[in-house]
Chain A
Amino acid sequence: MPDARAVQPQFPTLERQNDADHFGMLLFLSTEVLIFGGVFAVAFTLRAEHADYAQASKQMHYWIGGINTGVLLTSSALVALMVEAVRAGRAKLAGWLLGGTIALGLVFLALKFTEYALEYRDGVVPILSDANLHGGVERLFMDLYFVATGLHALHVTVGLCLLGSLLWPFGRARRERTAVFAGNAALYWHLVDIVWVFLYPTLYLAR
């Protein structure tokens, strides 16, 4: 891993190997679309079947979700610039852009867990703190909310580890101007961003 400069025996050329690396990552991301697709199918069904879905959604801290959307969109832009920097041979600049992306990712997680703490205080966390959960659709909504945002937070954490590995231990990947590893890590981060782009209106903005 991830010395793309060395052609592995199964590939006739380096270019073919790089294409295969990107192709594999994109196929993997397709399966990720389907993992979250199941969550969205549940959310859409719940919303179509129950008018109270909007009432439950109104209790969300939509401004924290909004700030978090802006944070993730900005981090995605930084990671896209990082790939450009790697291609241009500017490994140091790429390092700074990665640092910025990771910092924003951590801000996202910090805000997310602050929000969980607020929900705990509000008494709308199923099982743990459910004094103000009135059962029925509201309970189903909060179950869905924690499954969806929890699964997403897990993906953010994996994405941060992947991007962090470009600083250490795979810092030399930032010097590969083909940007195969850096590009694939960036693709993963963009998909995490896309998932949140749909989670936000689904969970926070249904009124």
Chain B
Amino acid sequence: MKNVRPILYAWFALLTLLALTIGASFAPLGPVLPFVSYAIAIAKTVLIIWLFMEMKTRDGLQRIALGVGFAWLFILLLLSFADILTRGWLGA
């Protein structure tokens, strides 16, 4: 049971980030809110993947196996938003 302490620290950090994300949603952040929300969600995900899913100690091939899902997701979102994000760049 040598990895108990990192798991408990990660759990505490995750609950702190949860409190932070709820608090941030009530702050007057306006259009910045989604960026704050998803930055916190990504931080939580990194903690879960690195410590709970043990990617910290897995070899490169296993990290790639999990990483490809996120890589394809990034392409999906990039192409989905290629239209919306670039509207108006060339004028009306």
- How far, in whole Å, are A90 and B14 apart by their CA atoms in the complex? 26
Q: How far is the CB of B58 from chain A (nearest CB, A)?
A: 8
Question: Is the Cβ of A81 less than 8 Å from the Cβ of B33?
Answer: no
Number of interface residues of A (CB under 8 A): 49
The residue from B21, B41, B76 contacting A41, defined by CB atoms under 8 A apart: B76
- A residues neighboring B (CB under 8 Å): 19, 22-23, 26-27, 29-34, 37-38, 40-41, 44-45, 47-49, 62, 66, 69-70, 73-74, 76-77, 79-81, 83-85, 88, 90, 183, 186-187, 190, 193-194, 197-198, 200-201, 205-207
In the assembled complex, 16 residue pairs joining A and B whose CB atoms fall closer than 8 Å, in A order, are: A30-B70, A31-B69, A34-B76, A48-B81, A62-B25, A70-B18, A73-B11, A73-B14, A77-B14, A84-B2, A84-B4, A183-B54, A186-B52, A194-B45, A205-B37, A206-B33
The residue from B41, B62, B72 contacting A23, defined by CB atoms under 8 A apart: B62
Chain B hits for A84, CB < 8 A: 1-4, 7
